[in-house]
Every structure is written in C-alpha cells, then in structure tokens.
Amino acid sequence: MHEIIPPAEIEAFVRNLRQTAKRRIVFTNGCFDILHRGHVQYLEDAKNFGDILIIGLNSNTSVARLKGPNRPYIDQHDRAYIISRFEAVDVVCIFDEDTPLRLIRMVKPDVLIKGGDYQLDAIVGRDFVENYGGLVKTVPFVAGRSSTNIIEKIKNG
C-alpha cells in the first residue's frame, strides 16, 4: 500500500479499509528522525500484530518541541516518504500535536504498539483503545541501536 495520508483524510481512509475487507489495523507512532536498524525491527515487529500498519509521524514542529530546537535533522516529508517505503509500513500520517491521541482516536486501531521502553500504563491512548476492546502491546528494542547513539557518535567523531 505505502500511502502517506493527511490527518484530515485518515478517518475516511480507515473506514474504507474496514468496509472493504476485514483487516486488523495496527498503529504506532514516533519521530523516526535518524533511522536505524532498531526502527526497522520495531516496525516489522509491530506489523506482526495485524494486517495494516499505520504510522503516526511527529511533524517537524512536534519533534522540535519534544527533542529540542535543533531537531529534527530530517524533514517530515522525507521521513514520511522513507518510512512509507518500508515493507512493513502501509500508511504514514504526519501529526502536529505532542502526542498521537487525536490521531489514535481517528484511526481506532485494533492494536496500539509502543517500544519496550514504555510501561503499558504510560502509553498515550491506552485507555481509549482498551475501552473498545483493542489491544495495547509493547515490542522490545534492538539493544545498542538508537538515534541518540548515532548523534553522539557523529558529534564525537
């Protein structure tokens, strides 16, 4: 599929997916600023929970608020394009808020996924998803792989 869908169109897009075929929709989100093996593994693991993987991608302004004024290093449109081409990813939707809650409410995923560094009770959207019978899961990180490590390596030569 490999679509990039604007937030204004995501509800109708997901509704159409559900009407045309019974598909299990998985949602996760992140900045995905400097991509690495850990990101790819994370997205592949997330896809294993369903048929369609939708990624909520933090916009440039959202990343800057969360990570600092020098971030992101990679523009949101480039990040969206690259991630949308991953085999495991079906849809990317860029969002401007600090959290993906509004997007989660629009998508109403069958499964909400976050990385293993999150405790279940700290996952944004957990209550909403579990209230309608959806699942909330975490998947493990690939040890030693992080954007922070890559940034530090670049800074230190």
pLDDT at residue 154, as a whole number: 67
Specify the pLDDT at position 155.
72
Q: Which fold, 3-156?
A: Rossmann fold (3.40.50)
Comparing C-alpha atoms, which of 60, 110, 57, 106 is closest to residue 84? 57
Burial class (CB in 10 A: 0-12, 13-18, 19+), 102: middle
| Exposed/middle/buried for residue 127 (C-beta within 10 Å: 0-12, 13-18, 19+) | exposed
Report how far residue 13's alpha carbon sits from residue 38's, in angstroms, rounded to the nearest whole number.
29
Residue 69's pLDDT is 93
Q: Using CA atoms, how far apart are residues 44 and 21, in angstroms rounded to an integer? A: 22
The whole-number pLDDT of residue 146 equals 64
Give me the tens of pLDDT residue by residue for the chain, a chain 157 residues long: 789 999 999 999 999 999 988 889 999 999 998 888 888 999 999 999 999 999 999 999 999 999 999 999 999 999 999 999 999 999 999 999 999 999 999 999 999 999 877 788 889 999 999 999 999 999 987 666 666 666 676 677 7
> Which pLDDT score is estimated for 22?
83
Residue of 83, 72, 102, 75 lying closest to 10 (CA atoms): 102
* pLDDT value of position 98: 95
- Residue-level pLDDT at 120: 85
Domain ranges of the chain: 3-156
